[in-house]
Amino acid sequence: MNAAGLLERDHVRIRRILRDLDETRGPDERARLFDLAEDALLVHSAIEEDLFYPEVRAAAASEEGDEVYIKSREEHKLVDVVMPPLRLIDVRSAVFAAKSRLVRQLVEHHIGEEEKYMLPLAREVLSEQRLNAIGARMRRSADRLHGKVILAAQSRAFDCDRDGCRIVGPGFMLLSGLGC
Amino acid sequence: MPNAIALLKNDHTTVRTLLGQLDAAATPRDRERLANRIADALEEHSAVEEEIFYPAYRAAAGTREDDEIYFKSREEHEVVGQVVDDLLHSDPRGASFAGRARVLRHLVEEHASEEERSLFPRAEQLRGEQRLRELGDEIERRKQSAGQEQQARPQGRRQEPPLRPRGEARDRGGECARSGSRFAIPFCGSIICRW
């Protein structure tokens, strides 16, 4: 599986989930879509940042490559700011609707930029064979991560008022089962 | 008396211009100077919006859609604030600075145009001309007193060290960096990532 192709396929899925999350009003459906969105985004950004971006940057070895790399990572970080508190917010509230719309916009912009700059660059600087090898690693990594990213959201301290919730204490995310 | 919306749109124009200049700035010194000016302008603008304009809008807001617009604008300030912090802590000679400046420009552009498209027209409907002028007056007074305060203690804010590591902390590698978290805590065979 070609790495760039794999990411494009992921993008289609993520766009669909976030669009549905934004447009659906039913609380149960929203909660279900949120779980899907969280899992999809965490896994997708993890395999990109770990396995894809560094390869493209190293192979490009140019100012353009550096800039595309940094911009992509910065855009992931924005989603990291908005996404985590959503888990503790009532899916029926206006705060939830506003934040999930913002996540959708941020992600759509990021995906658009990536497909315009990062993926063409990757196809230019990496051979077909190399892209296939990276794609295979990304796929294995994604299979390992999907569904295993459990959020221990309850351990997070939140300060909630009528305007919504803000994180005031540490938040934790558990990767893989506790080995004890 | 100035209309609040005209004042806020003026702020948008100022920041847009500065961000355009930042994008084109040739020397690290210019970039640093512009980043500081942008940070100050955004801080002042967000403060008057959050403390004066948004609450007045929300008090008059009637529909669910109004509430959503309100929350979204506030959330966008939060995200912009994060990028500004990161930018001020980046080396103006490096690629991180350039990347962050680009991201900031896009975010501000989106936020400002959306406000001009939805929040401002709606505020005009909800609040009449008279009330918007009163709010404009309040905004001007607030900006003046903030300006005096800043003159009294120049550069105070940026002398302070960052409260917590941002950005760079994620480069530490390991499972947590991989999953987008900032810190890793080993815990009996598992890894717990802290946001």
Q: pLDDT per residue over B52-72, tens digit each?
A: 999 999 999 889 999 999 999
A108 at the B interface (CB within 8 A)?
no
By CA distance, what is A80's nearest residue in B? Answer: B180
How far apart, in Å, are the Cα atoms of A171 and each of A174, B116, B163, B184?
Answer: 10, 35, 17, 11
B170 at the A interface (CB within 8 A)?
yes
Is the pLDDT confidence value at A170 over 50? no
Interface test with B, best of A82, A175, A180 (most B CBs within 10 A): A175
Q: Band of the pLDDT at A42, cuts 50, 70, 90?
A: confident
Read off the amino acid at residue B30: D
Give strand pairing partners of A164: A161
Is the pLDDT confidence value at A52 over 80? yes
| pLDDT single digits (tens) B80-92 | 999 999 999 999 9
Give the pLDDT mean for B109-118. Answer: 96
CB–CB contact B192 A63 (8 Å): no
Give the end-to-end CA distance of chain B in Å, rounded to a whole number: 46
Q: Report the percent of chain B where pLDDT is more than 90.
A: 66
- What does pLDDT average to over chain A? 84
By CA distance, what is A168's nearest residue in B? Answer: B195
Tokens of B91: 């080396």
Looking at A67-81, A94-108, A156-170, B131-145, which range is the least confident one? A156-170
Interatomic CA distance for residues A68 and A64, integer angstroms: 6
Q: Band of the pLDDT at B50, cuts 50, 70, 90?
A: very high
Give the pLDDT mean for B122-128. Answer: 91
Is the pLDDT confidence value at A114 over 90? yes
Closest CA to A72 of A39, A45, A38, A43: A45
Q: List the single residue in B75, B99, B167 with the smallest CB-CB distance to A71.
A: B99
The DSSP letter of residue B161 is: P
ipTM greater than 0.85: no
User: Is-above-0.95 flag for pTM?
Assistant: no
B190 Cβ partners below 8 Å, 6+ apart?
A: A174, A175, A176, A177, A178, A179, A180
Helix intervals (H) in B3-162: 4-24, 28-48, 54-60, 64-88, 95-114, 120-126, 129-152, 156-159
Q: Minimal Cα–Cα distance from B16 to chain A, Å?
A: 19
Name every chain A residue with its beta carbon within 8 A of the beta carbon of B75.
82, 98-99, 102
Name every chain B residue with its beta carbon within 8 A of the beta carbon of A45.
179-180
Q: Band of the pLDDT at B93, cuts 50, 70, 90?
A: very high
Give the pLDDT mean for A14-18. Answer: 98
Res B171: pLDDT: 32
